[in-house]
C-alpha cells in the first residue's frame, strides 16, 4: 500500500514538473512577441487562378544580426546589442514573410502562395532582404528596412528599397514591439502598393 502511495506521489510530481515546463519556469521567456497584419484577407475570402497567376512570397534573407528571435539595437554603424527581455515567437524573417503575404493578399486581392506549400509555382516571385528590424537609439525610433526583389519570369526583375521608422518614447519591450509591428505593416503596405501598380 505504501509503495503505491509513493508511486502515485512520484507520478503527480512528474506531471507537475512537466506542466511547469510547458507554462513557464526555468529560463522560458515570460512572453513572446509576434506581428499582426493591419489588412489581412477577409474571413471567407477566396482566391483562385491558373498556372502562373499566383504570386509566391519567399522568406527574405537577413544579416546575421537578425538570425535570432531577439530585437537588435543599432548602437552605431559597427555595434549591435539586443533589447533586454524581448523575444519573437519565431525569427523576424518568418514573421515578416507571413505579414507580407497576408497584406499583399488583403490589399490587392491577388492569389498569394506560400512556396513551402506549393512547390510548382510558375508565376511572379517576391523575395528580398530584410536589412533592419530593430531599434535605433540615435534617432529614438524603430526601423524596418526591406530590399524587395520582384521577378516576373526569367527576364524581368525589379528591385526597390522600402523603409519605415516609428518614434518610440523609451527602449523597452512594451513600447518597441508595437512600434515594430506598426513599422513592419507600413513597409508591407508599401510593398503591396508597389506590386499592385
DSSP per residue over 117-130, as a string? T-TT--S-EEEEEE
Reference 116, options 98, 89, 99, 91; nearest CA is 98
Predicted confidence (pLDDT) per residue in 63-122, tens digit: 999 999 999 999 999 999 999 999 999 999 999 999 999 999 999 888 887 776 665 656
Instruction: List Cβ neighbours of 22 (8 Å cut-off, separation of 6 or more).
Output: none
Q: What is the pLDDT of residue 98?
A: 95
Sign of torsion, CA 91 165 114 31?
positive
Q: Residue 168 and residue 40: Cα distance in Å, rounded?
A: 25
The model's pTM: 0.81
99: number of CA atoms within 13 Å, CB side?
Answer: 27
pLDDT at 14 over 90: no
Q: What is the pLDDT of residue 54?
A: 81
Reference 186, options 169, 167, 171, 170; nearest CA is 167
CA distances from 93 to 67, 75, 101, 148 (A): 8, 21, 12, 13
pLDDT at 137 over 80: yes
Pairing of strands 141-151, 157-167: antiparallel
Amino acid at each position: 500500500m505504501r509503495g503505491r502511495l509513493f508511486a502515485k506521489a512520484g507520478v503527480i510530481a512528474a506531471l507537475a514538473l512537466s506542466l511547469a515546463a510547458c507554462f513557464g519556469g526555468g529560463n522560458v521567456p515570460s512572453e513572446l512577441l509576434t506581428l499582426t497584419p493591419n489588412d489581412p484577407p477577409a474571413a471567407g475570402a477566396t482566391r483562385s487562378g491558373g498556372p502562373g497567376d499566383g504570386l509566391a512570397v519567399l522568406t527574405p534573407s537577413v544579416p546575421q544580426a537578425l538570425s535570432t528571435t531577439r530585437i537588435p539595437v543599432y548602437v552605431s554603424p559597427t555595434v549591435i546589442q539586443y533589447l533586454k527581455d524581448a523575444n519573437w515567437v519565431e525569427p523576424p524573417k518568418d514573421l515578416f514573410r507571413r505579414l507580407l503575404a497576408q497584406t499583399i493578399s488583403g490589399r490587392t486581392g491577388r492569389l498569394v502562395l506560400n512556396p513551402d506549400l506549393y512547390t510548382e509555382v510558375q508565376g511572379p516571385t517576391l523575395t528580398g532582404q530584410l536589412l533592419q528590424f530593430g531599434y535605433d537609439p540615435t534617432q529614438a525610433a524603430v526601423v524596418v528596412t526591406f530590399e524587395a526583389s520582384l521577378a516576373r519570369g526569367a527576364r524581368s526583375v525589379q528591385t526597390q528599397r522600402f523603409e519605415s521608422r516609428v518614434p518610440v518614447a523609451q527602449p523597452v519591450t512594451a513600447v518597441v514591439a508595437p512600434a515594430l509591428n506598426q513599422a513592419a505593416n507600413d513597409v508591407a503596405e508599401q510593398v503591396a502598393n508597389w506590386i499592385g501598380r
